[in-house]
Amino acid sequence: MTEPIEIRRIGPEGAAALHSVIAAAFGARPPLDPPADADSETVETVAAALEEYGGLVATSDGVPVAGLIFDRVADRVFLRRFGVVPAAQRSGIASRLVEEAVATATTIGLGEDGRDPLAAVAVVARAELPHSVRFWTRNGFRQVAGEPPYLQLERVVRLVLDTPDAASMRAFGGRLATVLRPGDLVVLTGELGAGKTTLTQGLGAGLGVRGDVTSPTFVIARVHPPLGDGPALVHADAYRLGGVAELDDLDLDTSLDDAVTVVEWGEGIAEGLASSRLDVRITRATGTTPPGIDGADPRRVVVVPIGARWRETDWSALG
């Protein structure tokens, strides 16, 4: 299709346009038992559903062809009534709408009412419609819960973990190693002594690489070769890069494509390295045990997967 497609955010004023999409898209599906609620939507019910968080409508030459409604529930944003009219299906519009929806969802309700930032974008799909389930899987959603015929699928936008002590930070690094593969970039940020190197030690142990992982004090980056047939670990300290040198230009004994690269303090420096990366932020947890009591010095770890690399990743191992 060559027509210009435009995706815009709508509120209740966009109800008529979105309702026309819902009627055409859901009307074209086979009858379901129990019937989908979408079948009984009216312009008024759609307007009411758009009241709180709005939705998206995609138009092709001004004609509405796809859309959805946002619905925030605790730390998740559900995409409701996601539909594409039959004439516009297989045009790539559905996947574009998903990307736009995920980007928009991350801004919905953030920081309001003291609520937690978003953890995941979720959808409910009908088990009787396997092509629909496959569509969500192709677009980075994984089945997490739900009772047939209702399946819940989610795409993780942010994982939060608490580590009470250094040993549990290392254990977390070990679990993180299980989701990484050659070519991956992990950017660790956190203040001095936050635990970036401690996490990397666990990662090195989990990957099974040679040498002790320590702060790369006198070298900008250290290569830990694999003991087995896994990837090498490249451990770099962007603080010492001074913010100018590029890791790519360093003469390392390995290609970054064959290694897992971890950059400490890489914010604003390492991002240019790869279009996909894992952002890991470590902060001293507050509101829990004061540091020092019983040796506890808890840290909060926030993992934000960025880019297409993580679409298929099963994050359940990190929990």
Ligand X SMILES: Nc1ncnc2c1ncn2[C@@H]1O[C@H](COP(=O)(O)OP(=O)(O)OP(=O)(O)O)[C@@H](O)[C@H]1O
Q: Which parts of this chain interact with ligand X (CB under 6 A)?
A: 163-166, 169, 190, 192-198, 215, 264, 297-299
Residue 204 carries which side chain, given as an amino acid letter?
G
Q: How far is the CB of 220 from ligand X (least distance, A)?
A: 13
Residue identified by tokens 């970039």 is 185
Q: How far apart are CA 234 and CA 165, in angstroms?
A: 25
Q: How far is the CB of 216 from ligand X (least distance, A)?
A: 9
Cβ atoms of 232 and 222 closer than 8 Å: no
Q: Please identify, using beta-carbon distances, which residue of 60 and 198 lies nearer to ligand X.
A: 198
Write out the two tokens for 162. 């608490």
Write out the two tokens for 138. 């192709």
Residue 230 carries which side chain, given as an amino acid letter?
G
Cβ atoms of 229 and 153 closer than 8 Å: no
Q: How far is the CB of 168 from ligand X (least distance, A)?
A: 6
Q: Does 215 bind Mg ion (CB under 5 A)?
A: yes
Residue 192 touches which of Mg ion, ligand X, none (CB < 5 to 8 A by kind)?
ligand X
- Which of 205, 307, 190 lies closest to 260 in space, CA to CA? 205
- For residue 216, what are the CA distances in angstroms to 154, 165, 196, 223? 38, 22, 12, 10
Residue 173 touches which of ligand X, Mg ion, none (CB < 5 to 8 A by kind)?
none
Q: How far is the CB of 300 from ligand X (least distance, A)?
A: 9
* Closest residue to ligand X, based on beta-carbon distance: 195
By CB under 5 A, name the one of 59, 104, 197, 201 that touches Mg ion: 197
Residue 59 touches which of ligand X, Mg ion, none (CB < 5 to 8 A by kind)?
none
**In the stretch 74-103, what mask flags binding to Mg ion with x, by CB under 5 A?**
------------------------------
Residue 165 touches which of ligand X, Mg ion, none (CB < 5 to 8 A by kind)?
ligand X
**In the stretch 233-272, what mask flags binding to Mg ion with x, by CB under 5 A?**
-------------------------------x--------
- For residue 32, what are the CA distances in angstroms to 27, 36, 133, 143, 312? 11, 7, 15, 20, 29
Residue 169 touches which of ligand X, Mg ion, none (CB < 5 to 8 A by kind)?
ligand X
Q: Which residues contact 214 (CB under 8 A, 6 or more apart)?
A: 197
Q: How far apart are CA 289 and CA 52, in angstroms?
A: 37
Omega prior to 231 cis, within 30 of 0: no
Residue 104 touches which of ligand X, Mg ion, none (CB < 5 to 8 A by kind)?
none
Q: Please identify, using beta-carbon distances, which residue of 101 and 209 lies nearer to ligand X.
A: 209
Cβ atoms of 89 and 1 closer than 8 Å: no
By CB under 5 A, name the one of 19, 80, 155, 196 that touches Mg ion: 196
Q: How far apart are CA 139 and CA 128, in angstroms?
A: 19
Q: How far apart are CA 270 and CA 156, in angstroms?
A: 22
Q: How far is the CB of 167 from ligand X (least distance, A)?
A: 8
Q: Please identify, using beta-carbon distances, which residue of 14 and 195 lies nearer to ligand X.
A: 195
Give the ranges where the chain is alpha helix by DSSP (H): 15-27, 43-53, 93-105, 130-138, 166-177, 196-207, 238-241
Residue 276 touches which of Mg ion, ligand X, none (CB < 5 to 8 A by kind)?
none
Residue 163 touches which of ligand X, Mg ion, none (CB < 5 to 8 A by kind)?
ligand X
Q: Please identify, using beta-carbon distances, which residue of 67 and 195 lies nearer to ligand X.
A: 195
* Cα dihedral 169, 210, 241, 253 sign: negative
Q: Please identify, using beta-carbon distances, which residue of 98 and 238 lies nearer to ligand X.
A: 238
Binding stretches for Mg ion (CB under 5 A): 196-197, 215, 264
